[in-house]
Chain A
């Protein structure tokens, strides 16, 4: 069986659903954590600074019992490096991944984003694309509902992803900012979970590249908040920063059941808000098969 999605309509600037499990202020503060200016670029930023800055007084278990992470060893395109995190167990009210932090040590803004999940979504997998400014460790830290922090670390060779000239026409990119897409991917799994992909058209300016027409620095302008709600239940919510690639794309699991609506509320750093509702239905082909069998 397959699910099919299509856009039902654009709702501009509706009030957001207040479903963030974590204080927005805290998330915003964490995005501001960056390498202190006096610190040389060759020091181990995690050991000397980031661990303390992000997770003061928290025990971090480095193992692969909760999540695994896949990244390319050498990023082919530093501005669009695919990263995927796979949960090692299904979400259940007794044991579930509450939050995933993704951190690129050597980026100007190390925290890529903070992603929140609930016990209802099936599985707390996440795939996204990040910018990588120089050779670096990438970390994913999963916080369980019992408070445990589990971390996995990968090393990635790449450079230039943050200051690489913007790939396209700045003015064209801004015209379509806020356009969204959602689609289901692949078959529904045995436990009724299905992969969904949510994409946003947005230049996600880092504040480090240059408007080549005017010669001025393009100020940072990026998606900083994403909330996805399926049939009134939060599937994933996130606070994100400039380390996310242009045209942010997220893959995650949800439980479509017999269909319904996925509502996306997004916000960018200039305070622009967009909302959209996508219908999720059974694909006609699958429905036809079902008809025949009855």
Chain B
């Protein structure tokens, strides 16, 4: 299967002008990719800790054309090389991230780390393919991404290009079953794999020296968390995360960057504990799912964005999990 993307680097920056020209030569494909991608510049980026750069995603629905740019993504720069942490929900967002890296350093991109199996965090992987980095993910990421992705391709495939297929979904070259340390040159990253929580394949990245903790979607702030793996599992993992020492900067998968770890986790923890307690009460009281989705968690309404799109689904998922306790 050949890809219809003109390689990477269609930005107009310095030493990459040659690449840009090469890309422009493939003009049909390039025109298409610009049209298909919802993402449009400028690309926000901030250095939240020394060498740690974050691009903040938008809180929009999956129906919004900007839904390819909803996740927080970024990169960590060492003396030797660069590690990317999530690549965004489209080839265009991935390319914008790559351009942002190239504005700051010419160090090679050694690693592209995907924090879990949701498209808004990995569709941009393609933009880095020609850098030949090592793609890294949770031990269960290959099985989450490696099958038929008919559903995600049908609904979001346009962010991968004109004829999206399974071949456009890049699987990890290396997986993490519990912990893995990476040396970027003067910077050590500690990757930790978790049991089922937000998804079945959640991975965190800690920049040990600066205490910068990239949590992927194990942490939602402002945007309502979405239940996919197991809400009880997620609460357990939050308990584990809270124990982490020396964290000075917390980067969620969605929402603003925080400083104090426990405080940053507090909102989603309270939301999940509320849903779990109230769903358990509904089950004990003989209420079925259709009643539970109308009554559970209402005290949390108003504290979260995208409530109407996600909350009832969360309650339904929690119900089917908790009724077998």
Residues on A facing B (Cβ under 8 Å) = 70, 72, 76-77, 80, 82, 84, 127, 129, 160, 163-165, 167, 169, 181, 185-186, 195, 197, 199, 201, 210-215, 217, 246-247, 249, 251
Number of interface residues of B (CB under 8 A): 24
B316 CB contacts on chain A under 8 angstroms? 76-77, 80
On whether A72 and B151 interact (CB within 8 A), knowing A77-B317, A199-B323, the answer reads no
**Residues B146 and A76 in contact, CB atoms below 8 Å apart:** no
Option from B286, B293, B317 in Cβ contact (under 8 Å) with A186: B286
Determine if A82 and B290 form an interchain contact, defined as CB atoms under 8 angstroms apart: yes
B173 within 8 A of A: no
A251 touches B288 (CB 8 A): yes
Whether, in the assembled complex, B150 has its beta carbon less than 8 Å from a beta carbon of chain A, the answer is yes
Residues from chain B with Cβ under 8 Å of A249 in the complex: 323
Restricting to B133-191, which residues have a CB under 8 Å from any CB of A? 143-148, 150-151, 155
Q: Which 10 A-B pairs have the closest CB atoms?
A: A212-B147, A185-B286, A210-B147, A210-B148, A82-B290, A76-B312, A212-B143, A76-B313, A213-B143, A77-B316
Q: 19 A-B Cβ contacts within 8 A? A: A72-B290, A76-B312, A76-B315, A77-B313, A77-B317, A80-B317, A163-B151, A165-B151, A197-B288, A210-B148, A210-B150, A212-B143, A212-B147, A213-B143, A213-B147, A214-B147, A217-B148, A247-B324, A249-B323
B200 within 8 A of A: yes
Q: Is the CB of A76 within 8 A of B288?
A: no
Residues of B within 8 A of A80 (CB): 289, 316-317, 320
Q: Is the CB of B146 within 8 A of A212?
A: yes
Tell me how far the C-beta of B222 lies from the nearest C-beta in chain A, rounded to whole angstroms: 21
- A208 and B325 CA atoms in complex are apart in Å by 28
Chain B's nearest CB lies how many Å from the CB of A84?
7
Query: Interface on chain B toward A: helix, strand, loop, or mixed SS?
Result: helix
Q: Residue B289 contacts which of A129, A163, A185, A217 (CB distance < 8 angstroms)? A: A129
New contact pairs (18) apart from A164-B151, A247-B324, CB-CB < 8 Å: A72-B290, A76-B312, A80-B289, A80-B316, A82-B288, A82-B289, A129-B289, A160-B155, A165-B151, A197-B286, A210-B147, A210-B150, A211-B147, A212-B147, A213-B147, A215-B147, A217-B148, A247-B320
B320 contacts across to A, CB distance below 8 A: 80, 246-247
Q: Which residues of B contact A185 (CB under 8 A)?
A: 286
Q: Are the C-beta atoms of A84 and B151 separated by less than 8 Å?
A: no
CA distance A129 to B316 in the complex (A): 11
Residue of A nearest to B230 (CB): A168
A80 to B317 Cα, complex, angstroms? 9
User: What is the 8 Å Cβ interface bit string for chain B, positions 257-278, against chain A (1 contact, 0 not)?
Assistant: 0000000000000000000000
A201–B155 CA distance with the chains assembled, in angstroms = 30
**Candidate in A201, A210, A246 with the most chain B CB atoms within 10 angstroms:** A210
Residues of A near B146 (CB, < 8 A) are: 212-213, 215
CB contacts (< 8 Å) of A82 on chain B: these are 288-290
Task: Considering the complex, give the chain B residue whose CB is closest to the CB of A251.
Answer: B288
B151, A160: Cβ atoms closer than 8 Å: yes
Q: Is the CB of B288 within 8 A of A127?
A: yes
- CB-based nearest B residue for A127: B288
- B290 to A, closest residue via Cβ: A82
B301, chain A: closest CB distance, angstroms: 15
Closest Cβ of chain B: how far from A15's Cβ, in Å?
28
Point out the residues of chain B lying under 8 angstroms from A199, CB to CB: 323-324
Of chain B, the residue at the smallest CB distance from A208 is B150
Contacts of A215 in B (CB 8 A): 146-148
Contacts of A72 in B (CB 8 A): 290
* B288 and A163 form a contact (CB under 8 A): no
- B155 CB, nearest partner CB in chain A, Å: 8
Residues of A within 8 Å of B290, CB to CB, are: 70, 72, 82, 84
A84, B148: Cβ atoms closer than 8 Å? no
CA distance A76 to B315 in the complex (A): 9
Please, which residues of chain A bring their CB within 8 A of the CB of B317? 77, 80, 167
> What mask results when residues 227 to 265 of chain B are scored 1 for a CB within 8 Å of chain A, else 0?
010000000000000000000000000000000000000
Question: In the assembled complex, which residues on chain A have CB atoms less than 8 Å from the CB atom of B200?
Answer: 169
Give, as a whole number of angstroms, the nearest-CB distance from B61 to chain A.
13
Which of B143, B293, B317 is most buried by chain A, counting CB atoms within 10 A of its CB? B143
Cα A84 to Cα B289 with chains together (Å): 11
Instruction: Find chain A residues with CB under 8 A from B150 CB.
Output: 163, 210
| Contacts of B284-305 to chain A: CB distance below 8 A | 286, 288-290, 293
Contact with A along B41-62 (1 / 0, CB 8 A): 0000000000000000000000
Q: For the complex formed, measure the closest distance between the CB of A174 and the CB atoms of chain B, giving whole angstroms.
A: 15
- Residue of B143, B144, B286, B324 touching A201 (CB-CB under 8 A): B324
CB distance from A158 to the nearest CB of B (A): 11
Q: B147, B155, B323: which has the most chain A beta carbons within 10 Å? A: B147
Nearest B-chain residue to A183, judged by Cβ = B286
Residue of A nearest to B309 (CB): A76
A186 and B151 CA atoms in complex are apart in Å by: 39
The listed residue (B145, B155, B288, B324) touching A84 by CB distance below 8 A is B288
Query: Nearest Cβ in chain B — how far from A196, in angstroms?
Result: 10
Q: Which residue of A lies closest to B317 (CB)?
A: A77
Closest chain B residue to A185, Cβ basis: B286
Bound complex: CA of A197 vs CA of B313, how far in Å?
A: 22
Residues of B within 8 Å of A129, CB to CB, are 289
**Chain A residue with Cβ nearest B166:** A215
Please name the residue on chain B nearest to A184 by beta carbon. Answer: B286
Please give me the residue from chain B that is nearest to A199 by CB atom.
B323
Q: How far is the CA of A129 from the CA of B315 in the complex (A)?
A: 15
